[in-house]
């Protein structure tokens, strides 16, 4: 396409108006003498409205605006893993090389290295008919992660020539009969979902190693979860913990309008931490987008799309991908800011009327799919929401809850009590509950669901009793209810509470989750039986084995200790009178 040049007409913050352009909506343009990366977001009369991904200080009317003839694309190919990008897929370490410790403007850096040679191993043969998405060959991108080089989703053809050996991502590795030369790299417009053959029901749990999640409100592979909470309630810690221990192949972590120090923390930790499933550094399976709160808002708006696009790309290779977005509220605010600069009609609380639609489009890009090639892959999305004043009735939370299937409600009352994760066990839910239960019964224990229900109903009863206690004190309650309060306290403190910073307890395997809860329920049954025998409550509550149970979860090799405690419990209750 022919590309032309226009002129800046007006500059107000990140929004620029220009005249003399022929670009289409969402095309990239380069604004000003410095060529600032920008995107067309509106066309009105003879003027194009443009959002600029970089700071616009100093840009003047009359400066040139260069067209590129293409929308914002992600560069897809080997070399994405372990990268740290800004919101428009510029590798941040490369920006440090180019401009030092502070990010300067007008820099263009490729999303993946165009010079590095990768060893390409062909899979397709001469004469093969290749359909969209079909594997042409592979590259060993990381020690344990094979990168499939696939036909672009909009191309098909017969192989005329296929190569083998070391190539850069731009060199041709395959030629089709029609003369098309295919390199390893693909460019994909970030605002468009990558196609798949069909969506499948999410019926496999995504193991997070977090008891309150796996045990009570589990997420499915390909599913969506929202984690709303006021400031300091644990959204970031939870997303980082999930990124560390979840049983997915690839993690896309999008830091969208949040803190620089948090990103530094993650960037220092991930290369050092080891994925327990593979014994390899976590960084090898990770892609990080860090568009912090002080970086340009337009790039923040784009970061969610670049993030999900890279996620979909690995899904297409047949991997299970998890994307976490921290925080979708900052993304929504970026939309709001840009919308108000466009002088659009504001909807609720100043957000644009299309807020709900944009959120839905984003979460819809999740899913467990049969890929174009016929393998299975998934993208799960966990989105943090930061409601003003911690009030869940605000538009971003409400619009998100309409779409996502899992709701982990963070509760600042629990935070204040330093109960972590501060996920409220009464308000939260998972709509995958019923679909996933058979999996747990088959793979962990036939009693999984029964125990979960029992624990939940004890907590429900506890909540009702606590209201009474607030009025009359716990001593006024009948003895059986006092026991229930204590059992609930055990479930809360010994099981639901789980420190992300404890070297062992940060991750809890399914079996351990089950065993710990079973032991607490065993205590409950003994306690009620003893009460029925006439044993006074304070004797029951004074059981030493009860306190011993508190610390089993902190042990890596917990089984011998748990056996011991359970045996102790049996004998204590037997002799109790």
Partner 1 sequence: MTKEYKTINEIKGPLLFVEKTEPVGYNELVEIRTETGEMKRGQVLDTSNEIVVVQVFEGTGGLGKESSVKFTGDVIKMPLSPDIIGRVLSGSGLPRDGGPPIVPDVSKDIAGAAINPAAREKPRAFIQTGISTIDGTNTLVRGQKLPIFSGAGLPHNDVALQIARQAKALGEAESFAVVFCAMGITNEEAQHFMADFERTGALERAVVFLNLADDPAVERLLTPQLGLTTAEYLAFDLDMHVLVIYTDMTNYCEAMRQMGAAREEVPGRRGYPGYMYTTLAIQYERAGIITGKNGSITQFPILTMPGDDITHPIPDLSGYITEGQLIVSRELHRKGIYPPIDIRPSLSRLMNSGIGAGHTREDHRAVSDQLYAYYAEGCDLRGLVAIVGKEALSERDRLVLEFADAFEQKFVNQGRDEDRSIFDTLDIGWNLLQALPETMLTRIDDHLIKKYHPRYRKKE
Q: What is the distance between the alpha carbons of residues 425 and 497, in angstroms, rounded to a whole number? A: 11
What does DSSP say about strands 286-291 and 84-85: parallel, antiparallel, or unpaired?
parallel
Q: Is 501 in the site for ligand ATP (CB under 6 A)?
A: yes
Are the C-beta atoms of 203 and 379 separated by less than 8 Å? no
Residue holding tokens 């090389």?
Answer: 97
Q: What is the distance between the alpha carbons of residues 31 and 53, in angstroms, rounded to a whole number? A: 10
Q: What is the distance between the alpha carbons of residues 304 and 334, in angstroms, rounded to a whole number? A: 11
Q: Is 234 in the site for ligand ATP (CB under 6 A)?
A: yes
Q: Nearer to Mg ion by C-beta: 239 or 481?
A: 239
Q: What is the distance between the alpha carbons of residues 46 and 48, in angstroms, rounded to a whole number? A: 7
Are the C-beta atoms of 355 and 396 separated by less than 8 Å? yes
Q: Minimum CB separation from partner 1 for residue 474, in Å?
A: 6
Pick one of partner 1, ligand ATP, Mg ion, none as the site partner of residue 229 (Cβ within 5 to 8 A by kind).
ligand ATP
Pick one of ligand ATP, Mg ion, partner 1, none as the site partner of residue 521 (Cβ within 5 to 8 A by kind).
none
Q: What is the distance between the alpha carbons of residues 72 and 35, in angstroms, rounded to a whole number? A: 15
Total binding residues toward ligand ATP, as defined by CB under 6 A: 15
What does DSSP say about strands 250-256 and 286-291: parallel, antiparallel, or unpaired?
parallel
Q: Nearer to ligand ATP by C-beta: 301 or 505?
A: 505
Q: Is 236 in the site for Mg ion (CB under 5 A)?
A: yes
Are the C-beta atoms of 253 and 84 separated by less than 8 Å? no
Q: Is 264 in the site for partner 1 (CB under 8 A)?
A: yes
Q: Nearer to ligand ATP by C-beta: 366 or 422?
A: 422
Pick one of partner 1, Mg ion, ligand ATP, none as the site partner of residue 545 (Cβ within 5 to 8 A by kind).
none
- The three-state secondary structure class of 398 is helix
Single out the segment in contact with ligand ATP by CB under 6 A; choices: 104-112, 228-236, 313-321, 447-455.
Answer: 228-236
Which tokens sit at 399? Answer: 């619009």
Helices 559-575, 510-532: axis angle to 10 degrees equals 0
Of residues 408, 414, 274, 399, the one with CA closest to residue 336: 399
Q: What is the distance between the alpha carbons of residues 248 and 207, in angstroms, rounded to a whole number? A: 8
Q: Please report, as residue ranges, which positions from 385 to 404 form the binding site for ligand ATP (by CB under 6 A).
A: 386
Q: Nearer to ligand ATP by C-beta: 23 or 236?
A: 236
Is residue 235 a known part of a binding site? yes
Residue holding tokens 């400031």?
Answer: 231
Each residue 507-546 as x (binds partner 1 by CB under 8 A) or -, in order, gives: -------------------------------------x--
Q: Is 46 in the site for partner 1 (CB under 8 A)?
A: no
Q: Which of 22, 25, 43, 104 is the binder for partner 1 (CB under 8 A)?
A: 104
Q: Is 499 in the site for ligand ATP (CB under 6 A)?
A: yes
Q: Nearer to partner 1 by C-beta: 190 or 385?
A: 385
Q: Is 560 in the site for partner 1 (CB under 8 A)?
A: no
Q: Is 336 in the site for ligand ATP (CB under 6 A)?
A: no
Q: What is the distance between the alpha carbons of residues 142 and 183, in angstroms, rounded to a whole number? A: 20
Widest Cα–Cα separation across the chain: 92
Is residue 221 a known part of a binding site? no
Q: Please report, as residue ranges, which positions from 331 to 350 form the binding site for partner 1 (by CB under 8 A).
A: 333, 336-337, 340, 346, 349-350
Are the C-beta atoms of 111 and 313 separated by less than 8 Å? no
Q: Is 564 in the site for partner 1 (CB under 8 A)?
A: no
Q: Is 568 in the site for partner 1 (CB under 8 A)?
A: no
Q: Is 409 in the site for ligand ATP (CB under 6 A)?
A: no
Is residue 165 a known part of a binding site? no
Q: Nearer to ligand ATP by C-beta: 451 or 499?
A: 499
Pick one of ligand ATP, Mg ion, partner 1, none as the site partner of residue 333 (Cβ within 5 to 8 A by kind).
partner 1
Single out the segment in contact with partner 1 by CB under 8 A; choices: 9-17, 169-177, 444-452, 508-516.
Answer: 9-17
Q: Nearer to partner 1 by C-beta: 72 or 298?
A: 298
User: φ, ψ for residue 567 (rounded to 5)?
Assistant: -65, -40
For residue 389, count other CB atoms closer than 10 A to its CB. Answer: 9
Q: Is 417 in the site for partner 1 (CB under 8 A)?
A: yes
Residue partners of 473: CB distance under 8 A and separation at least 6: none
- Kindly write down the DSSP assignment for every residue of 502-555, as one continuous string: STTTT---HHHHHHHHHHHHHHHHHHHHHHHTT--HHHHHT-HHHHHHTTGGG-
Angle at 245 between CA 277 and CA 358, to 5 degrees: 125
Q: Is 44 in the site for partner 1 (CB under 8 A)?
A: no
Pick one of ligand ATP, partner 1, Mg ion, none as the site partner of residue 261 (Cβ within 5 to 8 A by kind).
partner 1
Q: Which residues are annotated as a binding site for ATP?
A: 229-236
Q: Which residues are annotated as a binding site?
A: 229-236
Applying CB under 6 A, which residues contact ligand ATP? 229, 231-237, 258, 386, 420-421, 499-501
Applying CB under 5 A, which residues contact Mg ion? 235-236
């Amino acid at each position: 396409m022919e590309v032309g040049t226009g002129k800046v007409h007006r500059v107000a913050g990140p929004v620029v108006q220009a005249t003399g352009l022929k670009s289409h909506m969402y095309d990239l343009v380069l604004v000003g003498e410095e060529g600032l990366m920008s995107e067309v977001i509106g066309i009105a009369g003879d003027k194009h409205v443009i959002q600029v991904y970089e700071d616009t200080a100093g840009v003047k009317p009359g400066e040139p605006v260069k067209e590129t003839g293409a929308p914002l694309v992600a560069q897809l190919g080997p070399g994405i893993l372990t990268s740290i990008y800004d919101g428009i897929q510029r590798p941040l370490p490369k920006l440090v090389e180019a401009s030092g410790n502070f990010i300067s403007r007008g820099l263009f850096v490729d999303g993946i290295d165009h010079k590095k040679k990768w060893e390409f191993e062909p899979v397709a043969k001469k004469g093969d008919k290749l359909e969209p998405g079909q594997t042409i060959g592979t590259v060993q991108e990381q020690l344990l992660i094979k990168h499939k080089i696939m036909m672009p989703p909009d191309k098909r053809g017969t192989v005329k020539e296929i190569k083998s050996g070391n190539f850069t991502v731009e060199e041709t590795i395959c030629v089709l009969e029609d003369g098309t030369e295919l390199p390893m790299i693909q460019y994909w417009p970030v605002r468009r979902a990558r196609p798949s053959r069909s969506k499948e029901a999410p019926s496999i749990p995504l193991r997070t190693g977090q008891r309150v999640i796996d045990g009570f409100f589990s997420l499915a592979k390909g599913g969506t979860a929202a984690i709303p909470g006021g400031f300091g309630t644990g959204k970031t810690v939870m997303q980082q913990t999930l990124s560390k221990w979840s049983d997915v192949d690839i993690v896309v972590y999008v830091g969208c309008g949040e803190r620089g120090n948090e990103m530094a923390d993650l960037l220092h930790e991930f290369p050092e931490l080891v994925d327990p499933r593979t014994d390899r550094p976590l960084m090898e399976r990770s892609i990080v987008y860090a568009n912090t709160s002080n970086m340009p808002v337009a790039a923040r708006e784009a970061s969610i799309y670049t993030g999900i696009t890279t996620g979909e790309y690995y899904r297409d290779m047949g991997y299970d991908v998890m994307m976490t977005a921290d925080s979708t509220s900052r993304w929504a605010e970026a939309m709001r800011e840009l919308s108000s600069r466009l002088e659009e009609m504001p909807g609720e609380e100043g957000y644009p009327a299309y807020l709900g639609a944009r959120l839905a489009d984003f979460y819809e890009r999740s899913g467990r799919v049969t890929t174009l090639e016929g393998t299975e892959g998934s993208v799960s999305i966990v989105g943090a929401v930061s409601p003003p004043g911690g009030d869940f009735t605000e538009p971003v939370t409400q619009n998100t809850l309409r779409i996502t299937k899992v709701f982990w409600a963070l509760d600042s009352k629990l935070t204040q009590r330093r109960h972590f994760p501060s996920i409220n066990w009464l308000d939260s839910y998972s709509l995958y509950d019923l679909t996933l239960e058979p999996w747990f019964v088959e793979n962990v224990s036939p009693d999984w669901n029964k125990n979960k229900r029992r624990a939940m109903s004890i907590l429900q009863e506890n909540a009702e009793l606590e209201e009474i206690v607030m009025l009359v004190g716990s001593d006024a309650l009948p003895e059986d209810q006092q026991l229930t309060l204590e059992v609930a306290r055990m479930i809360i403190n010994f099981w639901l509470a789980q420190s992300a910073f404890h070297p062992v307890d940060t991750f809890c395997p399914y079996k351990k989750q089950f065993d710990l809860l079973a032991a607490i329920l065993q205590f409950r049954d003994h306690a009620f039986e003893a009460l029925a025998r006439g044993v006074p409550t304070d004797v029951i509550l004074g059981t030493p084995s009860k306190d011993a149970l508190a610390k089993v979860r902190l042990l890596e090799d917990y089984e011998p200790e748990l056996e011991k405690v359970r045996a102790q419990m049996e004998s204590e209750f037997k002799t109790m009178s």
